[in-house]
Chain A
Amino acid sequence: MPDIASLEGDSAYDVTWPWSRGEELVPGLTCVFRVRNEARNLPWVLPPIFSAVDHVLVVDNQSDDGTADVARKVAEQCGAEDRLTVLDYPHPVARAGGDHLATPATSVRSLTHFYNWCFSHVRTTYSMKWDGDMVLTPEGAGILRDLAWQLQSTRAIVAMPRHPLTVVDESTGWLDLSLRFLEPWVYPMGPEFTFVKAFDWELREFPAGVERIVLPEGLCVEVKWLDADEYAHWRRDGVDFTNTRLYRKLREFEVDEAIRNGDPTTVQGLVKVTAPEGVHIIDHVSRDWLWRQPRPLVRHSLPAALRERVKA
Chain B
Amino acid sequence: MSDRRVVYVVGSGRSGTSTMAGTLQTLGLHVPQPEVVADATNPKGFGEPQWVVDLHDELLRRSNVQVSDGRPRAWLDAGTLSGDQGVRERVAAWLEEQFAAAAREGVPELVIKDPRASWFLGLWRACAERCDATSSYVTMLRPVTEVVGSKQKYYGADQGAITRTAAWVNMMLGTERATRGEQRAFVRYGDLLADWTQPVFALGEAFDLTGVKTAMAVDIAAVHKFIDPSLRRVTLTWDDIPVPARLRELADETWQVLDGLAEPGGDTAESRETCDQLRAAYAEQYGEAEAFAQSTVLARSRAAARHARRDAEQAAAGSRSAADRVPHAVRAMVPAAARHRLRKAMGRERPSGPAQGQGQGPA
Contacts and interface: CB of A to CB of B under 8 A. Distances in A.
Interface of A: 27, 138-139, 142-143, 145-147, 149-154, 156, 213, 215-219, 291, 295
Contacts of B181: 145
B214 interface: no
Given A27-B280, A154-B73, A149 B122 contact: no
Given A143-B82, A291-B85, 19 more contacts: A27-B280, A139-B83, A139-B129, A143-B83, A143-B122, A146-B82, A147-B76, A149-B177, A150-B75, A151-B76, A152-B283, A153-B71, A153-B76, A154-B73, A213-B80, A215-B83, A217-B85, A219-B83, A295-B85
For the residues of B in contact with A, the DSSP-based class is helix
A48 to B, nearest CB: 13
17 contacts: A27-B276, A27-B280, A139-B83, A139-B88, A143-B79, A146-B178, A147-B76, A150-B75, A150-B76, A152-B72, A152-B280, A152-B283, A153-B283, A154-B73, A213-B80, A291-B85, A295-B85
A198 B279 CA distance: 39
B126 interface: yes
Contacts of A145: 181
A219 B71 CA distance: 28
A127 to B, nearest CB: 17
Given A143-B122, A146-B122, A216 B83 contact: yes
B184 interface: no
A216 B88 CA distance: 11
Contacts of B76: 147, 150-151, 153-154, 156, 213
B9 to A, nearest CB: 20
A293 to B, nearest CB: 9
Interface residues of B, number: 25
Nearest to B180: A149
Contacts of A143: 79, 82-83, 122
A218 B126 CA distance: 14
B122 A142 contact: yes
A142 B125 contact: yes
Contacts of A151: 76
Nearest to B178: A146
Central interface residue in A149, A150, A219, by most chain B CB within 10 Å = A150
Given A27-B276, A142-B126, A216 B84 contact: yes
Contacts of B213: none
A147 B276 CA distance: 15
B75 A138 contact: no
Interface string B61-75: 000000000011101
B130 interface: yes
Q: Which of B73, B88, B125 has the most CB of A within 10 A?
A: B73
Contacts of A152: 72, 279-280, 283
Contacts of A149: 75, 177, 279
Interface in B148-193: 177-178, 181
A291 B80 contact: no
A188 to B, nearest CB: 13
B23 to A, nearest CB: 29
A138 B85 contact: no
B34 interface: no
B300 to A, nearest CB: 21
A138 B122 contact: no
B86 interface: yes
A282 B287 CA distance: 44
Nearest to A27: B280
A118 B86 CA distance: 38
Given A27-B280, A154-B73, A138 B82 contact: no
A143 B88 CA distance: 12
A291 B85 CA distance: 8
A121 to B, nearest CB: 22
Nearest to B85: A295
B281 to A, nearest CB: 11
A156 to B, nearest CB: 8
B136 to A, nearest CB: 16
Nearest to B77: A150
A153 B170 CA distance: 12
Contacts of B122: 142-143, 146
Contacts of A150: 73, 75-76, 79
A246 to B, nearest CB: 30
